[in-house]
Structure 1
Amino acid sequence: MKNTIRLHLALGGRRGLAVQSGKGTNPKQNLKIEGIKDIVAVASGKGGVGKSTTAVNLAVSLANTLGLRVGLLDADVYGPSITMMMKLHGKPQLTEARKMTPIESYGVKCMSMGSLIPEGEAIVWRGPMVMKALEQMTRGVNWGNVDILVVDMPPGTGDAQISISQRLQLSGALIVSTPQDVALMDARRGVGMFSQVHVPILGILENMSYFKCPNCSEPYYIFGKGGAQKTAQEMGMKFLGEVPLETGIRHGADEGIPIVISSPNSFVSRAYNDLARKIVTRLEELGREGEFSRPEINL
């Protein structure tokens, strides 16, 4: 109950926030969020594969390396982590139209449930409350003009994931997995879920591909080798690259400084920057194929 009251007050009290009803409008157009050109979901079939870390560094790379206007939505309501990873402080302010203003960090407009509740407090909600919160964190936000909104999806393929996919006009989904067979099995389920709700798959990224020994530089394939690339080939998807295990990634996440900011010339940062370019290229390819209408973005 306390969580409900706090969120209700944070989102504008009894007056609430305006949410499009869709009555008398084109259903397809109603899925669009005003001012946002593309929405990219960063997803995985299971937790613990580095999905949030990927979402954060992808968003910061898109903004700082490619110079795009970028938003980052932490849709993992039960386990929000973007507030720590992006070093967000304070609560979103409300506009006169009763919409929340996202908190900006590293050139990225951020929205997370972690900014609306006390740090460390558990969210004990049933599905309808989660859906309402997600609706308000998308259409109840004054995003302004954004080229790409990166959505850090909750892990799994349940109600929240399906609802986000159906209620937002997602331009595509990036699947994150480790090379491990168990993770890849769940990644296949994630691909299947997006296929059922007609969301294009932008490709699969292999995270934690290997650990490079700091003394001898020899790679150690802790979770197996080449699993994500093989899965991508078998499923007819684009393979978008490998990101190795590196201490700097963990340190950056804990300190709230993404590695693409703290160590921009590192191998890992170059991998994230390459991923950002590939994501933009895939969006342009889909645009030329007629999936969506969008202006060209020069890299």
Structure 2
Amino acid sequence: MSTRQHEMQPSRTARRRGTTPAGAALVVLAVGQVVAGGLVSLADSPLMQPDRPGEPAITPPGYAFAIWGVIELLSLGLALWLPWFRRRAEEAGVAVVDALTRALLVVFAGFSVWLVASVAEPVWATLAVFLVMGVALVLGLSVAVRGRGEIASWSPLGRALVWGTLGLYAGWSTVAIWLNLTTALAFSGAPVSGTPGVVGQLAVLAGATATAVVVLLRTRGLLPYAAAVAWALVGATLGAAGAGQPLLAVAAAVGLVVVLATTAVLRLRRAQRPARA
């Protein structure tokens, strides 16, 4: 084939790339997150009522949950960007996109199921769904970490959407899963005050902090993840202080310091290497 004939041929990458069913479903589910969030906010769900009486002291104030709006918008942006990028990507990029898409399909679907569960059965069903979402988020972060070199070659917008969505989603969910456990126990009749209640919430704060440190180590101090965890722990600190539980407020603040210190150390280490995320 002559050079001119070769130039006239469409690229193999462009010819065989198209929107996959998984990519289309991701967009639908991302839109569904936004719609479901708006609809459930109008429903009479105990879980969705901010600052409700009888909740654990470490529950953040109602305004802290506004982070969900940011997460939903980032998720929608990423869901739109991934199929667009996939049509132009090389094989290595396609593999990362497809793996991310599979993990995010579970996360986005789980979010809407979680909101429905908050109305239908807000005690233990919401925790079970959140745990499934958490596993999928860990898988998504693992894909991104393994594909860090590939993602580093993507556009600034693509990198920001990938790391921002995964980081904020996973960071907030890390603390939210633990807090959902506390709320489920409280709804089931477990004490939220007195020595048993305080000890239980101290254990939850320790578990959330330890989980966050492990994820930070695996992601080498991913800033969006650290920011979301920090936001949640600030909320827990303010919630405990407002509930008149200084010990819990101090414990949440200590967790916040541990997360920030861990992030700072890991970022300093990364500064000595070529930045990739």
Give the shorter-chain TM-score range: 0.3 to 0.5
Larger Rg: 2
